[in-house]
Chains A and B, each alone.
Chain A
Amino acid sequence: MSSKIVVRVEDLHKRYGNEEVLKGVSFILRQGEALAIIGPSGTGKSTLLRCINRLTEPDSGRIWLEDTEITGAKTDMNKIRQQIGFVFQDFNLFAHLTALDNVRLGLMKVKKLSKGEASERAMTELKRVGLAEKAKAYPAQLSGGQQQRVSIARALAMDPKLMLFDEPTSALDPELIGEVLQVMKALAGEGMTMVVVTHEMGFARSVCDEVIFMEQGVIVEQGPPEHIFLQPRQPRTQQFLGKIGELYGGTGS
């Protein structure tokens, strides 16, 4: 059952000054798959994610979205980005707009929907994340978890082929993490293709189809969650998961 490839990343390199944050990363992601990227902080996970929609420009390497190479100089990234939903660690909702307007902005200005159509679509997405009743609220009036759900709705409204989550729960109070993970889990269940950079091992293990363990700019190990979490082959992976296990009492809890 090899379905269509949604993203192909080939030999991606990125350097900040003297430090090479990505040292040749390659992977493919098929339609409907949820991929978790785990690993210690500062090992290039977020950079990798931002390179996929070129919010950060990779130094070299190639990326395809479905059949289109998006690393060419002539690529119209505004066209590509609207097909890739991006969820930030710190939400980044537009501070001056209500939840509804946050979701509506891209629909009206990028997709050029009428206000009526955009409102209808935006409300559908807000309902999907369980926040229809907060449509008129401003970001500063919402909890972190609610803000993150609105930002997921904002990304979903654009009908993305792919969703990228950059540590979506790392800035949240522990009791707010659950509501966001639940939305993401439902998305994965509906067959959304997604890449999730996360420290939530439980989520990676139970929701994702594939896990990449990254360290110091390279993929150390990759495989289905049961392999990575139960029988990691690389000593570094074992060590990392062992540490996390100590911290939380068992991997994946």
Chain B
Amino acid sequence: MNPLAPFCQTLEEGSFVRLVCDISPRLLQGTATTFQLTVLAIALGLVGGLLLALGRVYGKKPIYWLSTAYVQFVRGTPVLVQLFLIYYGLPAFEIRLDPLTAAIIGLGLNSAAYQAEYFRGAIQSIGRGQMLAARAVGLTNVQAIGYVILPQALRMVIPPWSNELIYTLKYSSVAFIIGTPELMATGQIIASSLRGPGAFRHFEVFLIVAFIYLVCVLVISKLLDLLEQRVKIPGLEMQRA
């Protein structure tokens, strides 16, 4: 199943390059799953986080209370417990999810709470005068939020939000515990299945896994830096978090 197999055979058996050549195609498959998991979870968290933040800043009593309670609950409990609740707990209510879906939902709902706090901070950092000026022109509350407050808040939130994206990418590795075939799980399976002269090479396998995570993180950081530069408001020095 390794398309590189004929080439790998030519490398010295037991060497590090041989190991890399042998296992990297499978690790890259795991990386693809990690990406899928991260992107969908962060997207779910983005939508959820925005709604929660708006609820916490502008919501009337019940909405404010509910969104605050959600954020407190999620931030106050371990992500692993949340994953287990969803994957092992929901079947009690006849909801059975495959490991990847459970992980996407679990990490997404978790990220929503953290993103909500970043969004809330950014929204609240926009001067009150912006809202007053928008209302004075005749914009409705919703229009003012949509056309004046959020476009500024979303720009400001990019640096802290980058951290959240990077955390989510790295925390996605806990999904291996419920059997999601992502990068970490793939590394674990490979490390424990190596036989013969190539066996017991956990250190090297996880070093490669770590390296792949590192490359992903660096690429994401760079992309978000570029995004931040691109949407920067001319003449205004954006504060870095």
A residues with a Cβ closer than 8 A to B are: 53, 55, 78-79, 81-82, 84-86, 88, 90, 92-96, 105-106, 109-110, 137-141, 151, 154-155, 158
Complex: A78 Cα to B138 Cα, angstroms: 5
Q: Which of A92, A106, A109, A139 contacts B132 (CB 8 A)?
A: A92
Residue pair B235, A106 in contact (C-beta under 8 Å): no
- Knowing A78-B139, A82-B137, say if A95 contacts B147 (CB, 8 Å): no
Q: Which of A85, A140, A151 contacts B236 (CB 8 A)?
A: A140
CB closest chain-B residue, reference A140: B235
Residue pair A94, B139 in contact (C-beta under 8 Å): no
Report B205-241 residues with CB < 8 Å from chain A CB: 233-236
- Knowing A95-B152, A105-B147, say if A110 contacts B137 (CB, 8 Å): yes
Residue pair A92, B133 in contact (C-beta under 8 Å): yes
Complex: A78 Cα to B152 Cα, angstroms: 22
Q: Which of A79, A82, A93 contacts B133 (CB 8 A)?
A: A93
Q: Which of A86, A90, A139, A154 contacts B235 (CB 8 A)?
A: A139
Residue pair B138, A96 in contact (C-beta under 8 Å): no
Complex: A152 Cα to B143 Cα, angstroms: 21
Report B95-143 residues with CB < 8 Å from chain A CB: 127, 129-130, 132-140, 143
Contacts of B235 in A (CB 8 A): 137-141
Shortest distance from the beta carbon of A102 to any chain B beta carbon, whole Å: 9
Shortest distance from the beta carbon of B239 to any chain A beta carbon, whole Å: 13
Q: Which of B136, B139, B143 contacts A86 (CB 8 A)?
A: B136
Shortest distance from the beta carbon of A78 to any chain B beta carbon, whole Å: 5
Known: A110-B139, A110-B143, A141-B234. 4 other contacts (CB 8 A): A78-B139, A88-B136, A92-B132, A154-B137
Complex: A106 Cα to B133 Cα, angstroms: 11
Shortest distance from the beta carbon of B152 to any chain A beta carbon, whole Å: 5
- The size bracket of the interface on B is 20 to 34
Shortest distance from the beta carbon of B34 to any chain A beta carbon, whole Å: 34
Complex: A106 Cα to B138 Cα, angstroms: 7
Complex: A151 Cα to B130 Cα, angstroms: 12
Q: Which of A53, A85, A94, A151 contacts B134 (CB 8 A)?
A: A94
Contacts of A141 in B (CB 8 A): 234-235
Complex: A83 Cα to B127 Cα, angstroms: 24
Cβ of B91 under 8 Å from chain A: no
Cβ of B160 under 8 Å from chain A: no
Complex: A138 Cα to B236 Cα, angstroms: 9
- Knowing A55-B132, A95-B152, A96-B155, say if A106 contacts B234 (CB, 8 Å): no
Shortest distance from the beta carbon of A115 to any chain B beta carbon, whole Å: 14
Residue pair A92, B137 in contact (C-beta under 8 Å): no
